[in-house]
Amino acid sequence: MERKLTAILSADVKGYSRLMGEDEEATIRTLTAYREVMATLIVQHRGRVVDSPGDNLLAEFASAVDAVQGAVEIQRDLHGKNAELPPARRMEFRIGINVGDVVVEGERLYGDGVNIAARLEALAEGGGICIAGTVYDQVENKLSLSYEYVAEQMVKNIAKPVRVYRVRLGVEALTTELGKDKVTSPGSPPALSLPDKPSIIVLPFINMSNDPEQEYFSDGITEDITTDLSKISSLFVISRNSAFTYKGKAAKAQHISREMGVRYMLEGSVRKAGEWIRITAQLIDATTDHHLWAERYDRPLQDLFALQDEIVQKIVTTLRLQLTLRHLFSVTPQEVFDAWLDPESLREWMCPGALTVGDVQVDARVGGAFRLVMRGQAGEFVHTGEYREICPPERLRFTWRSQATRWQDSLVTIALVAQGKKTELILTHELLQDEEAIRGHRQGWQGIVEKLERYLSSDKTASHEQP
């Protein structure tokens, strides 16, 4: 008996009996058309339809990410088609997704993994998606979706309860991109979008002194830094009152980012001893919980105001030094996206000017690392980094460090936007150290993007010339 671990998608139609009772022929026509849409999207997301009796559909995927992406695309597409029908004739599918062990018999699947998916499907709303905790654990850091924890559910013949999450699919979610994780509790508000300019919240600095009366001192430092940052027009700063709602509370950076709609977070502590003060501060990319820098300052108390200015200047320098590059390609977003993750492709174009790629190592998954060695007359130039976000074919995000960044992490984001039959690439390189680094990297990325254009054009031409 063959067994395997797989991601299972189970779907059925809400109110199918009522639809059939009112108009059998119309219901069958709609069901047939919707099944074709679902089957096509399942295949596009590297899945396989296992069975489709009556109004049910069972599919399997090699990846939980593919299964959830496919389910979201299905609900998005069917939502649009239902909008064209009278409310009473709309056909809404409920979808449940589980990752589990199944028994394989020919083309069919059996076992607890399938049963749990079917139970999740029954818990979903019409047009909605419910996922098991095993699925949530694999997709939480990879897809830009909101998840609502429902409860633990007992499933027949399963000893332990199953954690259930609902994928939040309001009307706005059906028209937005896929990308990184957001988790909410029932009834919580949707995530706030990030402003167009760098956004930051200064959390209340923690009083590390033994004297509780020094609390006003640490609060004052927080207020002064917030006020100084607010004077900079190029920054979006959360107000002091909003920031102080987190005072004394343990909250995850990504939760704060989602709740307040900010990209960056400053936190720290204050310790006063006699005429000396110690301040620690750390700047965090709250969307990824990635630390950008951390410093500890030991200064005489009379230098406090100068120290606050120094911290503010460090933040401004870090957030403002970035470059943006745009380029229009004559190929699809998927083709451009694939080129950024394929080692053989990178070997052909990932180097500016007369440089060549001598070595390339790629672990193309979130948390995976890459290493590129560029060679030229002046010697070798090593570039390394880690993938922070991989959302095909729309978004790729990775750290970038080299001698040119003084071996400190900078951050590169590749956004791909379909423009008819073409693709606009928007490359943003953040957290560069100085203006010289910006100029050098702008020239380097421009050369790399131009080589990518030639590589994709020649590759497409060559494929068309094949007999």
**In the structure, what pLDDT confidence band is assigned to residue 12 with cuts at 50, 70 and 90?**
very high
Range name among 172-181, 207-216, 245-254, 405-414 with the lowest pLDDT average: 172-181
Residue 174: the pLDDT is: 41
Distance of CA 144 to the CA centre of its chain: 5
pLDDT tens, residue by residue, 77-98: 898 888 888 888 899 999 999 9
Instruction: Tell me which fold the domain 323-460 belongs to.
Output: Alpha-D-Glucose-1,6-Bisphosphate; Chain A, domain 4 (3.30.530)
**In the structure, what pLDDT confidence band is assigned to residue 156 with cuts at 50, 70 and 90?**
low
Residue 267: the pLDDT is: 92
Residue 186: the pLDDT is: 44
Q: List all residues 6 or more positions away from 247 whose beta carbon is below 8 Å from its beta carbon.
A: 203, 204
Residue 463: the pLDDT is: 45
Cis omega (within 30 of 0) for bond into 393: yes
Domain with CATH 3.40.50.10610 in the chain: 199-319
Residue 4: the pLDDT is: 87
Question: How open is the CA angle 296-202-245, to the nearest 5 degrees?
Answer: 125
Q: Is the pLDDT of residue 177 over 50?
A: no
- Cβ neighbours of 17 (radius 10 Å): 10
- Helix orientation angle between 435-465 and 333-341, rounded to the nearest 10 degrees: 110
Q: What 3-state DSSP class applies to 153? A: strand
Q: Is the pLDDT of residue 165 over 70?
A: yes
Classify residue 378 as exposed, middle or buried by CB count within 10 Å of its CB (0-12, 13-18, 19+).
Answer: exposed
Instruction: Tell me which fold the domain 2-184 belongs to.
Output: Alpha-Beta Plaits (3.30.70)
pTM of this prediction? Answer: 0.42
Q: For domain 199-319, which CATH number applies: 3.50.50.60, 3.40.50.300, 3.30.360.10, 3.40.50.10610?
A: 3.40.50.10610
Domain with CATH 3.30.70.1230 in the chain: 2-184
Residue 79's beta-bridge partner residues? Answer: none
Residue 145's beta-bridge partner residues? Answer: 181
pLDDT tens, residue by residue, 374-409: 988 878 889 999 998 899 998 898 999 888 777 777
Range name among 44-48, 61-65, 301-305 with the lowest pLDDT average: 301-305
Between 76 and 191, whose confidence is greater?
Answer: 76
DSSP 231: T
What is the overall mean pLDDT for the chain? 83
Residue 155: the pLDDT is: 67
pLDDT tens, residue by residue, 305-357: 888 888 877 776 666 667 788 899 999 999 999 999 999 999 999 988 888 88
Residue 110 and residue 87: Cα distance in Å, rounded?
A: 36
pLDDT tens, residue by residue, 419-428: 888 999 999 8
pLDDT tens, residue by residue, 124-148: 888 999 999 999 988 987 877 888 8
Q: Is the pLDDT of residue 178 over 60?
A: no
Q: List all residues 6 or more positions away from 293 whose beta carbon is below 8 Å from its beta carbon.
A: 282, 283, 314, 318
**In the structure, what pLDDT confidence band is assigned to residue 467 with cuts at 50, 70 and 90?**
very low
Between 260 and 445, whose confidence is greater?
Answer: 445
Domain with CATH 3.30.530.20 in the chain: 323-460
pLDDT tens, residue by residue, 205-243: 998 877 777 788 888 888 888 888 887 766 788 888 888
Q: List all residues 6 or more positions away from 445 whose beta carbon is below 8 Å from its beta carbon.
A: 323, 325, 352, 427, 429
